[in-house]
Every structure is written in C-alpha cells, then in structure tokens.
Amino acid sequence: MAMNLKELSRSLGLSQTTVSRALNGYPEVAEATRQRVMQAAAVHNYRPNARAKGLATGRTMAVGHVIPVASQHEMVNPIFSDFIAGAGETYMRHGYDMVLSVVPDAREEAAYRELAMKGSVDGIIVHGPRAVDPRIALLQEIGLPFVVHGRASGAQTDYNWIDVNNRRAFQRATEFLLDLGHRRIALVNGLVSMDFAARRLRGYTDALTSRGVTPDPALIYSDEMTEAYGFGAAREVLALAQPATAFLVSSMIAALGIRRAIEEAGLRMGRDISVITYDDDLSYLRNGGEVPTFTATRSSVRQAGRLCADRLIDLVQNPGQPARRHLLEAELTVGASTGPAPAGVNRVVT
Amino acid sequence: MAMNLKELSRSLGLSQTTVSRALNGYPEVAEATRQRVMQAAAVHNYRPNARAKGLATGRTMAVGHVIPVASQHEMVNPIFSDFIAGAGETYMRHGYDMVLSVVPDAREEAAYRELAMKGSVDGIIVHGPRAVDPRIALLQEIGLPFVVHGRASGAQTDYNWIDVNNRRAFQRATEFLLDLGHRRIALVNGLVSMDFAARRLRGYTDALTSRGVTPDPALIYSDEMTEAYGFGAAREVLALAQPATAFLVSSMIAALGIRRAIEEAGLRMGRDISVITYDDDLSYLRNGGEVPTFTATRSSVRQAGRLCADRLIDLVQNPGQPARRHLLEAELTVGASTGPAPAGVNRVVT
DNA sequence: TAGGTGATTCAAAGCGCTTTGGCATGCGAT
DNA sequence: ATCGCATGCCAAAGCGCTTTGAATCACCTA
C-alpha cells in the first residue's frame, strides 16, 4: 500500500542511496536530480517508514510521556490536556511523535524501563514529581534524556527541570491575604506527597510564621484536587467554631468547589470570604473577564508544556549538556474573590 | 546500552532464532531451553527493540490518536484526559503504545495521512467527529483500521463507531423538565458543527415540539464548552424579558458557569431555576454526594475510551470484520438542581 | 599524456528482529 | 541395518531505511 524507497528509486532509475540523500538534503546530489526526486516523492505521497528510519539512525523521533493515574481515586490530572497541547505543538514543529503511557502510579517505574529498553523513544518527560521521587535516579541510571515538569526536592543530583516557583507564589498569596487583615487562612492543597504541594505548604507557613501567625492544622487540607474536595474542605472549615475568613487553593477546580460551599453557607465570596487560587490557565477554565472572578497566582501549564518539550528536544539533539533548571514565576492577579477581612471577626489581638 | 538479541543469544550459546522463538512462545523449543532463555532475559532485563520487531513483523503495536485543538479558542477538550486514561488502560493490558498527535484542527487530514504513511501505528481513534466529517472517508481510503468516538451523521459508508445516544439523552432530559412544568428551557450546547451537539439539539427540539412548545432561538446557545461560556449564556438568558426557568447544558464545566450566573442573579439553582447537565463522569469533576449536585444525563467517557480501544485492538488483530456500531445509553440521574417550574412565571396558557 | 581533483552516483553492509527452509539427532518401526 | 518421523536447533534472508567506501566521469594540471 505505502510506497517505499526501493520502489521510488526504481521508478526514478536511481539508487536508493541517491534518493535517500536527495530527500534528506545532503549536498552531494545534483540539484536537478534532487528536484526530480522531490517531485516524485510528492506525487507518490512518499513518507519514509518511521520504524525503518529509526532502526537505521538510532533515533526514534518520538518522546515519551508517562501519565500516572492516582490509584486511590482513579484520578487523572486535568491539567494534562493542556500540558500535552503545549508540548504537542512543539513536537509537531520538530517532527517528533509523542507516545503516552497511562500507568497506575504503582507501576510507573516499570513503564519507564519499558519505554527505554524497547527503544521506542528518544527522551522522556516526567510528570508530577513527588517530594522524594525515585524516578529521577532511575532515569539517570537508564541514561535516557529526560525533563521533569516540576522538581523532586529529595534528588541528590542535577537534572533538567522546569517548574513554577510554587513556594514564592503561595507565600505572596498568603501575604496578600495577611495584608488584607486575614488571620485565619485555610490552605486547600494538593496531595503533600507531591512536590509542588509540599512547596506550596512551605510558602504558606513561611508567610504566616514570619508575620507571627501560627499555622492551624485544622485549616490545612491536602488531597487530590477535585471539585468535591474543595467543596467538602470549605464546608468543614466554615463550620468551625472559628472559621477561616480566607482560602488559599491549589487549583481552579477545587476553587469552584470552595465557592460553592461559600455560597451554600449563605456567604459571598470576595466580601465575606476571600479566596485566592492557583490558576494553571486551562483553556476550558479561563479565569477571565475584565475583573477576573478569582484573585489568582497564575502560570500557564500549556506554556510549561512547550518549554519542557523544547528543552527535551534540545537535549536529544545536543546530548551531553549540563543540566539546566528553569524556574517560572507565577503572576498574582487581583480579581473579585478577595477583600478585606470582615471586621469583628478574628480581630487581631494586639 | 540496551542488551539485544544477538548478545543475549551469544551469551547463551544459542542461535538468535532459538532465543527469539523461546521468548515468543513457539512450541519447537525444548522446555529446558526455554526456561534458560527466559531466565537470562529477565536477568539482563532484555526487551526486544520495538522498532526492529515492528519492521520484521509489519506490526507496530501502537495506535494513534489525533487530538484536534480548536484553532478558534486554542481549546483542547478536557474530556480527553479521561478518555485517554480509559483507552490507556486497555492498551497497556494488550501491550500497545499510544501515540498522540496534537494538531490544529485545520491540519488534521495531513496528520492522519502522516501517521498512516509513516507506518507508525496499526490503527487510529478518531476524536470529535463533525456532523459532516471528511476524515472517515479519508481513513477508509487510507485503509488503516479506525474507530470513531462519536459518529459523523453525513457519512455514506459503514464504519466502526462507539457513541452515546445523545439525541435520546437530551430528549429525555427535556421531557423531564417539561414534566416539571418548565416551558422556557434554554439549551447551552456545544458547537453545533460537532456531531454530538447537533444530535443533542435534535433531541431537545424534538421533545419540545412533540409537546407543542416552539423552540425559541433566543434560548439556544452553541459554543465551545467553557465555564465562561456557560456563565455568559446564562447571564444573558436570565436577563431576557421572558427568562428561561430551566437550562439544559452540554457539559459539567459549562454547568458550573451557569450555576454561577444563577447565583449571581440572586436566584437559587434547583428552586428558582432548574439545570440538567450532561455529565462525562470526569474523575476530577464528579457529580457526587448522596444527592448529586446536578440532575444529569451521564455516560462515562473513560468507559468509552476503554470500549474504543478494545474495539480497535480487536480490529487490528482480526482484520476484515464488518463494521460494528455501538450505541451507549446515558442514564438520567436526578440531583438537586431540578425542581418544579416556579408558579406564576411562564404559566402554561391553556 | 599520466596523474589529480571534484562532482555524482552506486553497491552493499548494517540497524535488531522474525521467519523460512534446512540440518542433525534419537527412537520406534520395518 | 534402514526408513520415517518427531524433536530441537540453526544459518540466512528480509523488513525499509541510512551510511560507508568505492566507482565513474569530466575536467584540469604538470
């Protein structure tokens, strides 16, 4: 069905060598010949067989993504769609394929090994690093180029990563709330086993303690970031004897749940209760409007996808580079969900 | 770096033939030998090179997904994460890889051609079919097995698809609202160029007209299903001289926007305004609780992913089957978002 | 005129695997 | 002693491509 090099070259009366060279832009081919070859290739809709090419060159022109599915809740992180969209653009531009492995997080190690040994990819993007994550040591041992989206704090060695400054983002957000007079600030975080969540927690507690506020464990939540989780956490916090006056949330989706709980309690977000959320700038969940609905620390995960892909391709094409780290700053945009702490409640004891 | 067949067989003092056969479970190998080979393979962590294997067998053990990115809004459908998770499970179980192409929807045709000619996949899953969609003719011409998630009404020929009965789902939902006394029911639909949205529209209008209610164009919206879109549409509808008393929505995310608009208008969902949404049962957006938040017609997109993958693998392994269609029924579950039409408003003229 | 040079082209090897078509060996049957 | 037939193993070809090393030719140079 598909035309191959042999047929193509025979139909042109040329050797496979020459045709191959012509198509791949080598100089030792007469310009006239090259034109003829190109033309014929276009006419026959010829595309070199990727596998054969890979075998011959040792390059697969493909990169792997291992998507872990949280075995607990069977949850797959919704930011992947956008990350993948960003990375995909880059791959397309460079002619790379993207191969995905969806794996229950328990079997993740095996998945990497598999990808590497089967030789089906030239490099790997690592998603969702844990605070201490065996994968990066594993990948270094395997010797396949890789880029981590995020960081693993516990790692001993250098490696390539691209991450948002989560600590700083949450520190600033907390300070912003403190400046508005809030003292009881709830943190509705992701799973703290995740590196990003651990850093956000750090930023939050740092900001609090440096202002003399002792973090209250009753206000700190940590779980998979679903709408229901946000709702449940907020409902609990609002029912406390000393409820929070503000929420710091790790994702837009959880924030929607929190807003729901706030309104269900007959309160109004932005007036009675303040909310700051982390915003991945997902395409289907834009925090838009002239005045954004949520005050948020934002960093586009799609852009992160692009950056990771760019870096990885660079790494594949120019091996042996020293590891490079790339820290993105999230921007804090003020929306309609924050306001001064209501007077009379949680007055600061001076 | 990676051990290969040649080395492995030499280290065993056997021919490549025998080792290959032993590993692939052929009978003409002494049981003792097979054990020895298996052991050695395990020890050396040997995995046959996928490309070489593919070249030799003509099978790639990979299937392609072409993910279109709506060029208008740069939007990538959030249901993909879950669909992919479902399909991924199946692929994993059968040892297939999944290769993704993220493409601006304009270049989609080229992407399919590419995948096929490069010979990098054994089959393809088609996402987001339009009401009239040139892709299925294209794929039939190409001759690669494919399964469509959804349907393309305009298609002339038979092909394999798996779809939800969108017309019926929306017809039932509309009837449910009519039974509650609602007469002004807004439809906040996806892009009607999409097949699923066209069918939903049909179900909605069928139900209305068969009850003698004339569909009001002012109540029918159609766009990419974002939270902001839901919000905007609902806000407009509620500001009409004769506002709707109920909404029928094509996605949970848009429904969240609608709820926001309802509450912003000082109304309460489920009492003042009823909402029924289509629910893809996304892992991070469960419509949970003892009483679900939303009354919804639900069908798991993850399950659809599994089914599509299963079907495609079957198709790849047993070619030449007649096309098979698979229509899933969505279930209507009653939640807290619906109630009788408020009296005094839009009273039915009898 | 012999030898050197640059420009083109080609035959063949090799990437790592499967698979075809033998080739031994042992054993019961003739 | 011979034939037939499993049984177990192997050498080599082939999948579609790249790449090495050489060949051919025209054209100069000494």
> Å from B51 (CA) to D25 (C1')?
40
Interface contact A61, partner B, CB < 8 A: no
Residue A295 domain-assigned?
A: yes
pLDDT of A278 higher than 70:
yes
Beta-carbon contacts of residue A64 (< 8 Å; ≥ 6 apart): A98, A99, A100, A101, A115, A120, A121, A123, A124, A125
φ/ψ of residue B43, rounded to 5: -60, -45
- What was the pLDDT predicted at B349? 42
Q: Is residue A13 part of a domain?
A: yes
Q: Could you tell me the pLDDT band of residue A78, with boundaries at 50, 70 and 90? A: confident
Q: Are B110 and B257 members of one domain? A: no
**Nucleotide closest in space to B32 (CA vs C1'):** D8
Cβ-in-10-Å burial (0-12, 13-18, 19+) of B344 comes to: exposed
Mean pLDDT split into 10-residue runs, chain B, 350 residues: 86 92 91 92 93 93 89 82 94 93 85 88 94 90 93 88 98 98 97 96 98 97 94 97 97 94 91 97 86 95 97 93 96 96 59
Cα–Cα dist A266/A273, whole Å = 11
What confidence score (pLDDT) does residue B347 get? 44
Q: Which nucleotide is nearest to B58 (CA to C1')?
A: D15
B9 nearest nucleotide via C1' and CA: D10
Q: For A229-240, how does the pLDDT look when each residue is reduced to its tens digit (9 = 90+)?
A: 999 999 999 999
Residue B257 CA to nucleotide C17 C1', Å? 55
B292 touches chain A (CB under 8 A): no
Paired tokens of A52: 């054969």
Does residue B226 lie in a domain region? yes
Which positions on chain C have an atom < 7 Å from some protein CB? 7-12, 14-21
pLDDT averaged over every residue in chain A: 92
Shortest alpha-carbon distance between residue A212 and chain B (Å): 36
Residue B335 lies in a domain: no
Give the pLDDT of residue A232.
95
* Whether A319 contacts chain B with CB within 8 A: no
Q: At what angle do helices B16-23 and B5-12 cross, to 10 degrees?
A: 100
Please give the biggest Cα pair distance in chain A. Answer: 92
Closest by CA position to B120, among listed A2, A157, A137, A7: A2
Q: Do A226 and B74 touch (CB under 8 A)?
A: no
Task: Give the Å distances, CA to CA, from B321 to B316, B317, B328.
Answer: 10, 10, 21
- Residue A112 has φ and ψ, to the nearest 5°, of -65, -50
| B16 CB neighbours strand D below 7 A | yes
The band of A349, judged by pLDDT with boundaries at 50, 70 and 90, is very low
B57 touches strand D (CB under 7 A): no
- Provide CB contacts within 8 A for A93, sequence distance 6+: none
Looking at the fold, whether A197 and A253 belong to one and the same domain comes out as: yes
Nearest C-alpha neighbor of B324 from the set B339, B308, B335: B308
CATH code where residue B43 lies: 1.10.260.40
A125-143: average pLDDT: 91
Residue range of the domain that includes A40: 5-48
B17 touches strand D (CB under 7 A): yes
Q: Is the model's pLDDT at A1 over the cut of 80?
A: no
Q: Distance from residue A9 (CA) to nucleotide D24 (C1'), in Å? A: 20
- The pair phi, psi for residue A204, each rounded to 5°, is -65, -50
* CB proximity under 8 Å: B 233-272 to A: 253, 256, 259-260, 263
Residue A306 Cα, gap to closest chain B Cα (Å) = 12
A178 and A295 housed in the same domain: yes
Q: Looking at the structure, do residues B261 and B285 belong to the same domain, yes or no?
A: yes
Helix axis angle, B195-210 relative to B166-179, nearest 10°? 30
Tokens at A208, concatenated? 């609090």
- A222 with A242, same domain: the answer is yes
- Which bases of chain D are contacted by protein, using any atom under 7 A from a CB? 7-21
Is the Cα torsion angle B26, B31, B33, B34 positive or negative in sign?
Answer: positive
Q: Using an 8 Å Cβ cutoff, are A127 and A67 in contact?
A: yes
Sign of the torsion formed by the C-alpha atoms of B26, B32, B33 and B36: positive
- Same domain membership, residue B157 and residue B134: yes
pLDDT on residue B210? 97
Question: Which pLDDT value is given to residue B348?
Answer: 43
- Judge whether B61 is closer than 8 Å to chain A, CB to CB: no
Evaluate whether A98 touches B98 at the Cβ level (below 8 Å): no
Residues A125, A39 share a domain: no
Bridge pairing between strands A295-298 and A331-333: antiparallel
- Over residues A300-342, the pLDDT tens digits come to 999 999 999 999 999 999 988 999 999 999 999 999 999 999 9
Residues of chain B with C-beta less than 8 angstroms from the C-beta of A97? 99-101, 120
Beta carbons of B228 and A289 less than 8 Å apart = yes
- Residue B214 is assigned to a structural domain of this protein: yes
CB atoms within 10 A of CB B319: 10
Asked whether residue A125 carries a pLDDT value surpassing 50, the answer given is: yes
For B30 and D9, how far is CA from C1' in angstroms?
A: 9
Interatomic CA distance for residues A330 and B95, integer angstroms: 40
Do A148 and A83 belong together in one domain? yes
Neighbours of A141 (CB within 10 A): 10
Residues A207 and A248 in one domain: yes
Report the distance separating Cα B198 and Cα B195, nearest Å. Answer: 5
* Same structural domain, A253 and A310: no
> Does residue B213 sit in the same domain as residue B250?
yes
Q: What is the pLDDT of residue A346?
A: 47
What's the confidence (pLDDT) of residue A350? 43
Residue B267, Cβ neighbours under 10 Å: how many? 15
Compare all CA atoms of chain B with the CA of A59 and give the residue at the minimum distance: B51
Whether A350 is in a domain gets the answer no
- DSSP H helices in chain A: 5-12, 16-23, 31-43, 50-57, 79-94, 108-118, 134-142, 166-179, 195-210, 227-238, 252-264, 301-317
Give the pLDDT score at B344.
59
Is the pLDDT higher at B69 or at A136?
A136
Q: Where are the beta strands (DSSP E) in B105-258?
A: 123-126, 146-149, 160-164, 185-189, 220-222, 246-249
Residue B249 sits in a domain whose CATH number is: 3.40.50.2300
pLDDT value for A347: 45
pLDDT at B350: 43
pLDDT of residue A115: 87
Q: Which of A52-56, A164-168, B1-5 has the lowest mean pLDDT?
A: B1-5
Residue B91 included in any domain: yes
pLDDT value at position A343?
A: 78
Domain-located, residue B283? yes
- Write the CB contacts of B106 (distance below 8 Å, at least 6 apart in sequence): B71
B contacts of A74 (beta carbons < 8 Å): 85, 283
Do A175 and A26 belong to one domain?
no
Number of H helices, E strands in chain B: 12, 12
> Count of CB atoms within 10 A of residue A59's CB?
13
Q: How many domains does chain B have?
A: 3
